[in-house]
Amino acid sequence: MTHPTENIPLLMEKVDALYEDAVKRGKPFTKLSATRDKIIAERGWKPAASYIDANFDRVLTEFKIVYVPKVLSPGPMFVFPIADTEGEYNYAQTKPLLGSPYYGKKYYRLGIEPTGPQWLGNSMRAIRTIVETGVAGLVEGPFDWLACKLLFPDSPVLCPLTKRIGKDHQAYLRLLGIHTLYFMYDNEADLKGYDAARYQSRDFQSIPMMKCHNLPCPAPDPSEALKNYDTAQQLKTLLKGLR
């Protein structure tokens, strides 16, 4: 579901003003540090701190990810802004937390839905890397994507926000000139993630010069990998080897 009346740029302005005021009042946190600490606590990523701490500010800033506290509606929630084809952020995937009016929903979309395929992670810098290498990896959820970027910020990972990517997504990937596509879908016991990756690879068989591979995560998914030091290390090595 999407709440179309939420103005994402205005929400981001209010969030910035809220944190700036907190800093002026001597609060011991900033927008970046509050978002980082809340993500680590909520996702249980402390075991991977030595791998991800140094990358948090860069990734949060580049992709405009923020924690909206409960004092500002529709918080508390994490907001993952999604760029449209013009590079504007008028739409967002959110993770509502207890106290949010949208709490109870696993994820919730806010703002004006853009035309065309939706991607999390398509900043200009990220797309430039993908175009230069001709390689991209796809993951299922926003925290899976964030886990990958925190481990290795230059990893060519995108999140289509859906398990079933359509022809618009395929056309976008062709436009980027990708020659190798990796599916790192959830490594679930029921094999749903594996099956989804297999079906997606079959859909891409009609695209000349694009090879598709299923890339098993060392944990049930990349977010889960950060809950353990060893699996975080394994995932980082895996991401650095994408080529």
Residue limits of CATH 3.90.980 in the chain: 2-111
For 80, the enclosing helix (H) or strand (E) is: strand 77-82
In the predicted structure, residue 5 carries a pLDDT above the cut 80: no
Percent of the chain with pLDDT over 90: 72
Q: How many CA atoms, within 13 angstroms, populate the side-chain half-sphere of residue 146?
A: 29
Q: With contact defined as beta carbons under 8 Å apart, do 138 and 82 qualify?
A: no
- Averaged pLDDT, 44-51: 98
* Burial grade of 189 (CB within 10 A; 0-12, 13-18, 19 or more): exposed
Distance CA 213, CA 69 (A): 39
CATH code of domain 124-240? 3.40.1360.10
| Out of 110-119, 134-143, 173-182, 232-241, least confident range | 110-119
pLDDT tier at 2 (50, 70, 90 boundaries)? very low
Query: Could you give the residue range(s) of every CATH 3.40.1360.10 domain in the chain?
Result: 124-240
Question: Using CA atoms, how far apart are residues 210 and 173, in angstroms rounded to an integer?
Answer: 10
The whole-number pLDDT of residue 199 equals 55
CATH of domain 2-111: 3.90.980
In the Cβ-directed half-sphere of 193, how many Cα atoms lie within 13 Å?
21
